[in-house]
A = this chain, B = another copy of it.
Amino acid sequence: MISKAIPFKVKLVAYNPQGELVVAIAAKMSRSRHGWEHHLDMPPQEIETWIRDSIIHGYWSVLEHSSYTFSIEGISRVASHQFVRHRIASYTQMSHRFAKPKDEYYKPVVPPSFKDVHGYETTYQEYLRLLNQGVPEEDARYVLPNGVNTNLVVTMNARELYNFFGLRLCTRAQWEIRAVAWLMLDEVKRVHPILFRYAGPNCIIHENFVRPEEDPVSLDQEKVFVSSRCIEGVPREGIWKCIRNSRTILEKIK
């Protein structure tokens, strides 16, 4: 029942296909006297310009007009507890008060650093024993491990996603939520590559606030940083290596 293969799934389940256009029109309308319909036939190149300029100059609020809903299934309660600390987002979580993680639904997450897995099976037997004693589900779950699996429906707008990615793609983020974040980034870049072109860990975000505007940096191409360190203290020379390391988590959990 318990294996080291990582069981979690990250899937973008709802979003507005026109999200990039919506963000670009909103950005333009703050400087225009025309209404929405006037801007509906904005050419792709102009969409790109409005979005790029908004991000490079920190005009984040327009990014709030496009939202994304993910189903994140099989992550541990260690990760879900970290996730819900992001307050500008909407969450619905599988409740262990009502849905028992039993039988094939008990799939606790095993960190890649574990050589073997002992505690999860005995813990599970104790959980069953308590249920059989008549202990309510909401109490019996106290003995389940922190690594126990749960499901989470998460909705975030593009601005909050930039913030979430800034913190959670960073190599200092805990491995599981970091893996989830890289998978979420892949999902949104697939559907809205223009809007998420400059998303990345905070080193990327902050660098784009302080470097020449005509030459922004993204995860797509390594460029020399102006920043002398990232916000976590990694010196200029080590930043790209640090970013590459961060993403290797996806290989470790396959």
Contact = CB atoms under 8 A, between A and B. Distances in A.
B229 A227 contact: no
Contact of A94 (B32, B130, B211): B32
A254 interface: no
A170 to B, nearest CB: 11
B126 A78 contact: no
Given A16-B14, A174-B138, A145 B147 contact: no
Among A29, A115, A118, A148: residue with most chain B CB under 10 A: A29
Contacts of A36: 11, 13, 71, 73, 153
A228 interface: yes
B226 A213 contact: no
A84 interface: yes
Nearest to A95: B30
A243 to B, nearest CB: 16
Contacts of A84: 81, 84-85
Interface in A106-156: 108-111, 113-115, 118-120, 122-123, 126-127, 129-130, 133, 135-136, 138-139, 141-148, 151, 153, 155
A164 to B, nearest CB: 14
Among A76, A77, A119: residue with most chain B CB under 10 A: A119
B58 A65 contact: no
Interface string A90-104: 111111011111000
Among A87, A92, A120: residue with most chain B CB under 10 A: A92
10 contacts: A14-B19, A29-B94, A31-B98, A61-B91, A65-B69, A67-B155, A111-B139, A113-B135, A123-B143, A138-B175
Given A87-B87, A97-B174, A108-B142, 19 more contacts: A15-B16, A29-B94, A29-B151, A33-B105, A33-B151, A36-B71, A61-B90, A67-B67, A67-B157, A76-B142, A78-B141, A85-B91, A123-B143, A145-B145, A209-B230, A210-B226, A210-B229, A211-B228, A226-B226
Interface of A: 9, 11, 13-16, 18-19, 22, 25-27, 29-33, 35-36, 57-58, 61-62, 64-65, 67, 69, 71, 73, 76-78, 80-81, 84-85, 87-88, 90-95, 97-101, 105, 108-111, 113-115, 118-120, 122-123, 126-127, 129-130, 133, 135-136, 138-139, 141-148, 151, 153, 155, 157, 174-175, 202, 206-207, 209-213, 226-233
